Amino acid sequence: MSFTSALVTGASGFIGRALVSHLRESGKRLVAVGRPTSVLPPAHRQIKLEATSARVIAEALHGEAVDIVFHCAAYGIRPTDREPARMLATNMAATGAWVEAAAALGAKAFVHVGSCSEYGPIAKPERIRESHPLDAKDLYGASKAAGGRWGAALARSLQLPFQWVRLFGVFGPGEAPHRLLPYVYDRLYRGERVDLTSGRQWRDLLYVDDAAKGLAAAAVIALEGRLGPFNLCTGEPVTVRAMAEEVARQMGAPPELLDFGRRPPRADEPMWMIGDPSFLANAAGFRHSIGLSEGVALTLRALERERRASSMAER
């Protein structure tokens, strides 16, 4: 079973944009949704709104029928976005509004993009499974977990299949400039020292196109009644240090520019955040296809293109 049309919230974001592009290339009819200030990617229909209630959404969509709603919009991904009221409004209340609107639009499933931040701390370094308690200690993780729970409960009451998919680390073209790879690239390109933490944190890093493919695969199995929650990740531990060193190696930059230990670690930053991808692999046959080295190469190429385009525009 597959689907022919989809709506993507947060379509202007890093993952929303990659998902829209993947679904468009797969021939789906697409509605891309953002907030009033968002810059949306090309789609069959673009809608900008403040998703304050299901009624507001239904009015803006004007009877549009979609098979799947992918809910990518969230607040708090940037570490500086920490307003609790906005976090709750976006990550919980708006998730509920989108679930109700999806049911009203006749959607056959709702794919909710969750996060590894929803999980509570782990006692020892092992791959986190979906059964791990949702006991986030920070506001962002707690609001994401609350939004997933609220959305799931509402969807159940509306008999709408709710596919909760928790991403771990995602990297690739289109990432915000403050994130590790674009930051390291920018500094090394200028020949400047790169201020980094010790880099000993272990992360699970999925290339963004694989994230888009995994979300689409999770939608397909939701239509067949196979529901998660599912982790969407590689299961392969990589240190932040190894990632930064790979960027420097591929750029041919002197590794001494990577100043590990210069920055203090973030107080709430876990040292180990690796997911177990096997549940989704077994249910959907999904496995990531792009490894770290290839993903870094593709991202560096995209950053180079962007840099050349902006320097041409400045001339």
Q: Which residues contact ligand NAP (rule: CB under 6 A)?
A: 10, 12-16, 34-35, 37-38, 72-75, 77, 86, 90, 113, 115-116, 144, 167, 169-170
CB 13 within 8 A of CB 204: no
Compare residues 138 and 259 and give the one whose CB is closer to ligand NAP: 138
Compare residues 80 and 159 and give the one whose CB is closer to ligand NAP: 80
Compare residues 81 and 224 and give the one whose CB is closer to ligand NAP: 81
The label of the residue with tokens 């520019």 reads: 257
Compare residues 169 and 173 and give the one whose CB is closer to ligand NAP: 169
Minimum Å distance from CB 290 to ligand NAP? 15
Minimum Å distance from CB 16 to ligand NAP? 5
Compare residues 22 and 253 and give the one whose CB is closer to ligand NAP: 22
Compare residues 3 and 95 and give the one whose CB is closer to ligand NAP: 95
Kindly report each contact of residues 24-32 with a partner whose C-beta sits within 8 Å and lies 24 or more positions away, as own/partner: 26/216, 28/3, 28/4, 29/4, 29/5, 30/5, 30/6, 31/5, 31/6, 31/7, 31/61, 31/64, 31/66, 32/7, 32/8
DSSP output for the chain: ---SEEEEETTTSHHHHHHHHHHHHTT-EEEEEE-TT--PPP-SEEEE-----HHHHHHHHTT---SEEEE---S--STT---HHHHHIIIIIHHHHHHHHHHHTT-SEEEEEEEGGGSPP-SSS-PBPTTS----SSHHHHHHHHHHHHHHHHHHHTT--EEEEEE-EEESTT--TTSHHHHHHHHHHTT--EE------EEEEEEHHHHHHHHHHHHHHHHTT----EEES---EEEHHHHHHHHHHHHT--GGGEETTSSPPPTT--SEE-B--HHHHHHH-------HHHHHHHHHHHHHHHHHHHHHHH-
Minimum Å distance from CB 111 to ligand NAP? 11
Minimum Å distance from CB 184 to ligand NAP? 16
Minimum Å distance from CB 315 to ligand NAP? 28
Minimum Å distance from CB 54 to ligand NAP? 15
Minimum Å distance from CB 206 to ligand NAP? 8
Minimum Å distance from CB 243 to ligand NAP? 13
Compare residues 147 and 161 and give the one whose CB is closer to ligand NAP: 147
Compare residues 38 and 201 and give the one whose CB is closer to ligand NAP: 38
Compare residues 12 and 234 and give the one whose CB is closer to ligand NAP: 12
Minimum Å distance from CB 256 to ligand NAP? 29
- Please give the residue whose beta carbon sits closest to ligand NAP in the complex: 13
Count CA atoms within 13 Å of residue 69 on its CB side: 30
